[in-house]
Chains A and B, each alone.
Chain A
Amino acid sequence: MSAISASEKVDGFTRKSMRKAQKQRKSQGSSQYRTHTAPVELSPLPQLKDAPSTEQQELFTQKLQQCCMLFDFLDSVTDLKSKEIKRATLNELVDYVSTNRGVLVEPAYPEITNMICTNIFRILPPSENPDFDPEEDEPTLEAAWPHIQLVYEFLLRFLENPDFQPSIAKRYIDQKFVLQLLELFDSEDPRERDFLKTILHRIYGKFLGLRAFIRKQINNIFLRFIYETEHFNGVAELLEILGSIINGFALPLKAEHKQFLMKVLIPLHTAKGLALFHAQLAYCVVQFLEKDPTLTEPVIRGLLKFWPKTCSQKEVMFLGEIEEILDVIEPTQFKKIQEPLFKQISKCVTNPHFQVAERALYFWNNEYILSLIEENIDKILPIMFGSLYRISKEHWNPTIVALVYNVLKTLMEMNCTLFDELTDSNTRFPVVFLLSKGKMSLKC
């Protein structure tokens, strides 16, 4: 047993971090290269810029075809020469479509999309780490990135080329293409997801005929994520695209869009990994409410239904989202949900986890929320008073206690009579108890 070092004897867990470190060093995966036949060695073609203009188109096609050859990147020593030739060719192609006009002639479209499909569409490999935690672990990076990156770059330049014609491209960039593109959003490699995000956004913008289809497929991905697998790496990226899509929805909102909000976006809040995409999700929700304020009530009721019961971190996120919603809420909508909402907030301020209590109490620093509370003080004060009063004496965290005093003071200033009534009925201690702490003045 002498082989075991003293530190390991004391703490068996050190081993885990060591194992992790070892793993992370070689954390590269690729499933792009799956052919059993060895690739043919590439030979360099002449530069496009040197070719006479009559032959350029032919050479362009040849180069596209050359780039269809796939290489094994997990083996870093094979085919070095050919890999370099392909890399240089891809660079040249990127350059060619972004700087030249008139290169996107009709016969080039199938060649271009064929090259793109061959290179990027692949079944993603099984995750190296079966319990991959996106918040903790380093992602597995795509080994073939030196080539794949350039192909994505090329696709982007192709879509953005001023000569690009969706009417021709739609024969190749079709539903099947989009479906495969969406599946790639599950990639662990954040660089890849970033490219995909921009590309899908461009496609959504340029291909009107694909829009409904794209929305529906994203829908399906989310529903599968929520109810079946709980695993999809690209939720944040897809939500980011949706944020801009929602922004452009015409009014009145279609039933389909409202259904998406209520049946997909709201249940997305239940996901275990909410932290990874909450900012984007909250943005989408608020976008919807800005478009159509009548959705406020069902949305808030939905959030209350899925309110986290044990996860404080998520509770803080929910409170953040509620504040974002309250920032844009219409006073008439506020009246509709104030009671259930403040019952929840009243539970939050008494939460023993100080971050939850603190986040809830911060609502009282928001001028707009304060004005809403003041308008409805006779409804809200009775809901909040009991919890606030109790916590002012019981909470273990002095910061929370101090915050509660300020909140109580604000509430007292809003309706002194009601406040006194509640103080009398809630406790044997009169308001003097609070005053004795020197935190409040008698005048209100």
Chain B
Amino acid sequence: MAGADGDDSLYPIAVLIDELRNEDVQLRLNSIKKLSTIALALGVERTRTELLPFLTDTIYDEDEVLLALAEQLGNFTMLVGGPEYVHCLLPPLESLATVEETVVRDKAVESLRKISQEHSPVDLEVHFEPLVKRLASGDWFTSRTSACGLFSVCYPRVSSTVKAEIRQHFRTLCSDDTPMVRRAAASKLGEFAKVLELEYVKSDIISLFTALASDEQDSVRLLAVEACVSIATLLPQEDLETLVMPTLRQAAEDKSWRVRYMVADKFSELQKAVGPEITKNDLVPAFQNLLKDCEAEVRAAAANKVKEFCENLPEDNREQIIMTHILPCVKELVSDTNQHVKSALASVIMGLSTILGKDNTIEHLLPLFLAQLKDECPEVRLNIISNLDCVNEVIGIRQLSQSLLPAIVELAEDAKWRVRLAIIEYMPLLAGQLGVEFFDEKLNTLCMAWLIDHVYAIREAATCNLMKLVEKFGAEWAQNTIVPKVLGMANDPNYLHRMTTLFCINALSKACGQEITTKQMLPVVLKMSNDQVANVRFNVAKSLQKIGPILDSNALQTEVKPVLEKLASDTDMDVKYFAQEAISVPPSHSSLFTPLAAVILEPQSPQRTTTFSPSVRWKVLAADGATSC
């Protein structure tokens, strides 16, 4: 096929086509990914008559190649000559829809769904629907599972006789004897129901739904729960009680925890689908049971839904339902034996305060919040703290501050650095809600202590936290409380702490403004250019580059320039490199530095990265004792 006519312009294409047959998978893969280029060069006629048959024959390739092929073919309509010819893409996709590997098959089905839209109604019946039928009655389960995903795309656009056939095929697959196919059918049940006429939803879908929901395999039953949401949305309210509710009740009490978990997980959707009356009579007790389930997995899933469920209760007696039915269960969950359950609850419980209002929150919820703030599991405490804003709106955070503080302090000193990191991230929020006085009094020391944490990620987050605090409390506050402490660390014997000073200056200079930066920070930075540790010195160069734009030109010329020039002739090559970098690319101040261009030395190592070279590391150890992070 390739280059048979000897046309030179087709040479690159001939190469690609040859690569389609290459022994090396990677080359075949590359070629498949450029399939549209090949098709474009061949033209629509030869794509249809030569390329597609060739591709249909290569279906026995590596799955990776097949996946790429399945994806490409979904976008091929124009390349085979537009909607009129789109059906010639069906044979290769049909074979791909029968392979074993799930990802390939799913991709083929996805592409088939896509091109089904490009079929005319006639083509759909002549070409597409027969393909669906062939797949649906295939020998091996793979083709039947693929068929399940195709019914809903062709059903709306075919004649009523064909529709009847499609419904029949779907029915057959719902009672297939391999569970894989039943699972596929169950997972598409909701989607299929949506395209069916209401009368058939009632006559066909309901019986299939009931059957799948009482399948012998729990993996099938749990998928029926998902379908339940779509089906309930489609049916008029008066039919729900008889057609859907018996099955849903049964699912909520299924003997398999996986099914109950699914019910809990889909609870909000189910609630919306069945409406307020059924929610009041049926779902409230069902939800109570799920909150008290014997498996922690189910309780956790239900606990996650507490806020949403309460929010969506009918407003007329929402408060009463929550107070008498839900809250008692929630109280028990606060002291659950499983930490995932408690932590799931902690992530939503604060949301109840907006629903219940000030008085109820103080009387009933506050004790729960406080209990969770003292929980042994840090994740629970963290989840409470991260949602403080909900309570703040209702009762103000002061009510909590007495318990909040010990909880924060404890989390701030947790042995796991990820916990410390998480609490740092909430500091700006807490600071905003607690106010500057409270902050100065209780939390400021914590924020400063993180700057000398032994984990770099914490020091980095602490720096960023300071910046956010300054943005919140203003430059004056910074000048009085933070800057002196930060600058004080410049004389610390540990070089890591000295570097932290530089990192803080990088972060704070913009928020603090020119005055503070020039008068207080710059002298410290400049002084550190004489540090004995090379790492500190090259970070001085980097800092100068960062704060440059904030300084005035006088300071730049008279103070910064000489220091950078000195660093540019440092004995350490990393220091030299970063000093030159700072001189050559001073952000947005290039005009001031143009005279310096003459000073630029030949870069010795153009590809330097900022990671420590072994030589730098060695220097640090020699100068400072072994304090690595």
Give the interface of A toward B (CB within 8 A). 1, 3-4, 8-9, 12, 15, 31, 34, 123, 125-126, 176, 179, 216, 220, 223-224, 227-228, 263, 267, 305
Contacts and interface: CB of A to CB of B under 8 A. Distances in A.
Contacts of A15: 415-416
13 contacts: A1-B453, A4-B413, A9-B454, A15-B416, A34-B255, A123-B255, A126-B257, A126-B297, A179-B216, A216-B177, A220-B179, A227-B180, A228-B183
A123 B218 contact: yes
Interface of B: 62, 100-102, 140-141, 177-180, 183, 216, 218-219, 255-258, 294-297, 413, 415-417, 449, 453-455
B445 to A, nearest CB: 12
Nearest to A176: B216
Which of the listed residues A3, A9, A126, A267 has the most CB atoms from chain B within 10 Å of its own CB? A126
Contacts of B255: 34, 123
Given A220-B180, A224-B180, A31 B413 contact: no
Contact of B100 (A125, A216, A263): A263
B141 A223 contact: yes
Nearest to A264: B100
A350 to B, nearest CB: 16
A385 to B, nearest CB: 18
Nearest to A4: B415
A309 to B, nearest CB: 9
A377 B417 CA distance: 62
Given A12-B417, A15-B415, A305-B62, A224 B257 contact: no
Given A1-B413, A34-B294, A123-B256, A223 B140 contact: no
Which of the listed residues B62, B140, B415 has the most CB atoms from chain A within 10 Å of its own CB? B415
Contacts of A227: 100-102, 180
A9 B295 CA distance: 37
Which 9 pairs, one residue from A and one from B, show the smallest C-beta to C-beta distance? A126-B297, A123-B256, A4-B415, A227-B102, A1-B413, A9-B454, A220-B179, A8-B415, A123-B255
Contacts of B102: 227-228
Contacts of A223: 141, 178, 180
Contacts of A216: 177
A1 B454 CA distance: 10
B257 A31 contact: yes
A267 B257 contact: no
A228 B219 CA distance: 11
Contacts of A8: 415
Contacts of A224: 179-180, 219
Contacts of A1: 413, 449, 453
A209 to B, nearest CB: 16
Contacts of B417: 12
A15 B419 CA distance: 13
Given A123-B256, A126-B295, A267 B454 contact: no
Name the prevailing secondary structure of the B interface residues. loop
B299 to A, nearest CB: 11
Contacts of B257: 31, 123, 125-126
Nearest to A125: B295
Name the prevailing secondary structure of the A interface residues. helix
Given A9-B454, A125-B257, A228 B180 contact: yes
A3 B413 contact: yes
Contacts of A31: 257, 294-295
Contacts of B455: 12
Nearest to A219: B178
Contact of A267 (B100, B178, B258, B294): B100
Nearest to A267: B100
A267 B449 CA distance: 56
A371 B485 CA distance: 81
Contact of A3 (B180, B294, B415, B449): B415
A305 B63 CA distance: 9
B333 to A, nearest CB: 17
Nearest to A305: B62
A15 B378 CA distance: 14
A46 to B, nearest CB: 35
A263 B257 CA distance: 31
Given A125-B295, A220-B178, A228-B183, 16 more contacts: A1-B449, A3-B413, A8-B415, A12-B417, A15-B416, A31-B257, A123-B257, A123-B258, A126-B257, A126-B295, A126-B296, A176-B216, A223-B178, A224-B219, A227-B101, A267-B100
Contact of A12 (B140, B416, B449): B416
B378 to A, nearest CB: 12
A12 B416 CA distance: 7
Contacts of B294: 31, 34
A208 B177 CA distance: 20
Nearest to B294: A34
Given A1-B449, A12-B416, A228-B102, A263 B180 contact: no
Contacts of A228: 102, 180, 183
Contacts of B296: 126
Contacts of A176: 216
B140 A263 contact: yes
A9 B603 CA distance: 40
Nearest to A221: B179
B330 to A, nearest CB: 20
A143 to B, nearest CB: 13
A26 B285 CA distance: 33
A179 B177 CA distance: 13
Contacts of A179: 216
B379 to A, nearest CB: 13
A305 B60 CA distance: 10
A123 B140 CA distance: 29
Nearest to A9: B454
A227 B102 CA distance: 6
Contacts of A34: 255, 294
A400 B455 CA distance: 43
A12 B453 CA distance: 13
B199 to A, nearest CB: 34
Contacts of B416: 12, 15
A294 to B, nearest CB: 19
Nearest to B292: A36
Nearest to A223: B180
A366 B183 CA distance: 48
A69 B140 CA distance: 44
A99 B415 CA distance: 61
Contacts of A123: 218, 255-258
A1 B180 CA distance: 54
Which of the listed residues A4, A9, A123, A263 has the most CB atoms from chain B within 10 Å of its own CB? A123
Which of the listed residues A12, A227, A263, A305 has the most CB atoms from chain B within 10 Å of its own CB? A227
Which of the listed residues A1, A12, A176 has the most CB atoms from chain B within 10 Å of its own CB? A1
A376 B519 CA distance: 86
Contacts of B297: 126
A126 B258 CA distance: 8
Contacts of B100: 227, 263, 267
